[in-house]
Amino acid sequence: MLSLSTSNHKAGSPPPRPCYWAQAQVVKHKMCTRDFQCQSCPFDRALRKQAAINAAQTTKGEPRLKDRIETWQDKLRKRPVLQRPCIHTMRGDITFRPCTENYMCAECDFHQYFQDIYCVHTVLSPIDLLECRGFHIPQGYYLHPGHAWVKLESEDTVRIGLDEFALKILGPLDSIDIPVLGKRLDQDQPGFILHRGEHSIAVLAPVSGVITDVQTELGENPAPASTDPYGQGWLVRVKASDLRRELPRLILGVESADFMGQSVNRVFSLIEEEYGPLAADGGDLAPDLAGQLPEMSWERLAGVVLRP
């Protein structure tokens, strides 16, 4: 029976561990500060770039210097099979298990098993929530300019939902059209359709990939998404196809507060256009703004809220 280490299953963040490059002894010392989400790590990108240059020089017949960088996978592949640690061992998820798939995780049945058992059923609970202009922003989540969020689960798997700002301002929603299992999403293209009464508007997909899991019940009853948008309110799980290129286009960290402030200001500007300057007094925006201001077109409000 495979035993799990307890370090990653305590409340809060697990203690930092050496990154893959250090564990493979490509570099002497480097702690992982990104929970092994390598696609967003500039250190990983820099070393992979140098490794690719070195590999190209070797292919041309140039002598390989002893200290030339190679990928951590190539370094570990030089070990006997039973001495190659599985990436889940390297992350601290499990006790030692050898990698038997030559670090081709997409072809590994155990990797899929682990993702299904220990990721699919995990409840997303952000550790820190930043409040900005009356709305909460989860730290560690990526935000798309169209107000969908992305939470990384593994190197190529993410969860997607709608942020609190969109759900509160445009809600209560009657339904959400959520793509079916196996459907492909494309970044910046319509991904979900929000419905309220006779009105509807598209939300742009934050990343590209194939949908592997769907909360179909939220399509017909979106209310739970509004009460817990960053946890139980997730809509789909996606096997992403190009995170290295697409994640830098999203919003993360301290930039999230500026983004949310700009979004709130756009809505206040719309209110001023409709009702005059006294309507925007610098306070917080009320939930169900469309219901509070019935004369305002829901499509126009939604267009301002979801504008990328």
| Alpha carbons 235 and 218: distance in angstroms, whole number | 7
**pLDDT for res 92:** 85
* Per-residue confidence in pLDDT tens, the chain, 308 aa: 343 333 343 444 456 789 999 999 999 889 998 888 787 788 998 898 888 888 887 666 655 555 678 999 999 999 999 999 999 899 887 888 899 999 988 788 887 777 665 554 444 455 578 888 888 888 889 999 999 999 988 778 899 999 999 999 998 999 999 999 999 999 999 999 999 989 999 999 999 999 999 998 999 999 888 888 988 889 999 999 988 889 889 998 778 889 999 999 999 888 888 777 654 445 678 788 877 877 788 888 999 999 87
Determine the pLDDT at residue 13: 47
Place of tokens 């190529």: 156
Over residues 57-69, the pLDDT tens digits come to 766 665 555 567 8
Q: How far apart are CA 38 and CA 182, in angstroms?
A: 25
Q: What is the pLDDT of residues 184-237, one digit of tens each?
A: 999 999 999 999 989 999 999 999 999 999 998 999 999 888 888 988 889 999
Radius of gyration of the chain (CA): 23
Residue 121 host element (H or E): none
β-sheet bridge partners, residue 176? 194
Contact between residue 110 and residue 86 where contact means Cβ atoms under 8 Å apart = yes
